[in-house]
Each structure stands twice: as C-alpha cells, then as structure tokens.
Amino acid sequence: MRNLSWCTVSLTAVAVTSVLLGYLLGGSQDPTARDPDIDLTTVELIAKYGYPAESHTVVSEDGYILTLHRIPFGKKSPGETNRQPVFIQNGLGFSSVEWVIMGPEKGLGYILADAGYDVWLGNSRGNVWSKKHVTLHPSSAEFWDFSWHEMGIYDLPAITDYILRRTGQEKLSYIGYSMGATMFFVMTSQKPEYNKNINVMIALTPGMYMKYCTSPILKVFGIAGKELEWLSNLFGIYQILPHSSLFTFIARHFCSDGAVTQPICIDIWKLIFAYNHKESNTSALPLIMSHGPAGASIKSFQHFGQNINSGEFMKYDYGEEKNLIMYGSRIPPKYDVSKITVPVAIMYAQNDIITDPRDVAKTKEALPNVIAFLKVKDEEFTHVDFIWAMNVKSLVYEDILRLLRKY
C-alpha cells in the first residue's frame, strides 16, 4: 500500500468503469488521433518547438533533489545577452510542463523567452520531476512529511541562490501560480533577506487566504483534515494525485474529441476547477490530462484545508501538544507578511472557486507593497485558465510582460 495513493486506488476503480463504459458506448480508439506531445517530457517539448532546453538539479537544505527546466533564450531574440532571469513556480499538483504544453503561441515559457528573458521553470518537491532525496525514499513517510511551508523555507532559497549564481545576476523576477505564490510568501516572510534578490513578484491567483474556497477537493481537507491525516498514517498513504499512465489512458480514449464519454471528463473538470465555456479548449484535454496531475503531498492539501478553516495564513497545525513544542503556543502562528517588501503584482479571476476574489482582496490588503491588482477581464475566467485558456496571452500574459518590463 505504501507505493499507492488514495487517488490512485480510487481512480483504478474509475478507470475500469470508464473502460467498460467507453467500449460499450464507443470511446475514441483511433491511434492516429493521439497527440504526439502526450509522450514528450518538458525538455523534449521545448526542444520540439525549436527552443533551447536545459535541465538543472538543485538540492535543498533538507535534502530534496529538485529539477529546474530552463529556456535560456527564445527563437525571436537569440542574439541578446545579459538576459534577466525569470523564475516560474508551479501550483499544487502541477509541474513545469504546464508553461510549455500549449505551444509557442500560448505557453508562457516560450512567450517570455521570445521577449528576451532567461526563463527558469520550477518543480515543487514531490512532483514527477522532483521526487528524489539524498537519503529518503519516496515510499517512506519521512519523504512526504512536508507542505508548502518547507517548499518556501528550503526549496525557494536554494533555487534562488542557484539561478543567481548560474546567471551572474543580482536579482530575478518571480512568477508564482497559486501554490507557487504561497511558497513565495512563506520564503520572503520567514527569510526576509531574500526580498533583496527579487525585482518583482507576479502572483497569479495567489493562495494565501482561502476562507471562501469552494473547491470540493480542498474543502474535504478543510472539513476532515485531521481524520484524513489519521487515515493517511494508518494506511501508509502520503501522496495524492501522482503522475500515472492511468490518466494518459483515460484521457486519450475517453476525453478526446469524438468520444461519447468526453462530456463526463468535462463534468469532472467543472467540479474540480469550474468551467469557462469561452476559453476552455476541450480538444486539449487528452494532452493536459496526460501530463497531469504531477503529484503532491497530502500534507500540502491539509495545510491549505487548515487555512480554509481558519481564514488565516498560518503555519501547519500539528495539534496543541506538538504545537507547543514546535511554536511555543497551542495554535500555529500566522506568517508575518509585513516582512514581504518585494513589489507584488496580483492577478485574479472572478470565476475562481479555489482562490475567491474576496480572499485575494484580503491578500492585497495584507501585503505592504502591492504595485498592481488586476482582475482578468473575462468574468468566466477560472483558476486553471491562467495556464490553459484559449486567449490567455491577451488576457493575462501581455500584462505580465508589461509588469516585467517596468520592474
């Protein structure tokens, strides 16, 4: 059981049902319909589209081996030198591939590289590209004993130091999507000396305050977090949403155009993320689902669930007894966000069921140096539309480019 996750176990049953349903109703079985990008890694995707691709390894202070993917320059600006490094950190359950999966016209990684930036793509610990440790095995409970707190105090400082050392620059620009923003707020509040290393932080739908979150998955962890923690320890299951060939199989055969089961995939998508009829690319579902989810620790979900319950941005709650040992108080302390002096630009969406606009507004009020607060003009824009929307370049990425040029 230790190599499984709740999601893998449950999806096995779903897959069997889907296979039977698909064959009975006529799922898409045409092998020529398979998108070749489904089988490519992040580096292979970047190279396929004619961009230089690199893979780098960073070891955190607590021993996690993290993979960074890099696009050092673009096809439209190959001769430029002294490029400003831009680092993009993925959200919970995602990976670096999200920023290149939609191709050069819509992938933020390519767009930034073509605009003259040195682009670095992060992979949070525990995902498919950062699932190693110098001593711990990913089948052990010890390996998965982390949330986005550890990612903020250990991973981001190590990554920042590495990028600046490698590029010879004094500062980098940071783009954090969802949990990627959460990690940044942890780093710069807990280790404020890193504020001086950042030009600007662009927070895409940031996960700081989450009182009004209505995402079913995260709400479950908010309602039954301690019970789920007990079950996790009982059955030795510590990860959730691991990268799996099962998703690829289901996505290819039952979520593609022409499959009568595609509406089921869309309904599941609506339940998890909400849905934008104007911007959602249903034809891309097989590609998206084949590369994700990428894996995460259950403790990361629990930490978000805890903040949903409290309505605060707080450290992990270990229970009163252990909290006294860890923090010297019965309840976990709040992060001191007044120490975050980096200029922060916030972008958010009206139809976001994970980071509700009311919570994002509270984030704006809490941070001392917000230099832009931008709502996406499309009222149906959702949490994942920041990555996959049909018109994401005009709705989001052009604003990112303007902010980066200014700072």
Catalytic positions are 178, 383
- Sequence-separated contacts (24+) of 9-17 with Cβ below 8 Å: 11/244, 11/246, 11/247, 11/250, 12/246, 14/250, 15/246, 15/249, 15/250
Closest CA to 303 of 145, 153, 157: 145
**What is the chain's Cα-based Rg?**
20
Contact, 241 vs 217, CB < 8 A? no
Question: 132 forms bridges with which residues in the sheet?
Answer: 65
CA-to-CA distance for 396 and 135, rounded, in angstroms?
A: 41
Alpha-carbon distance values, 179 to 89, 151, 184, 405 (Å): 8, 10, 9, 24
Q: What angle do CA 375, 362, 172 make, to 5 degrees?
A: 65
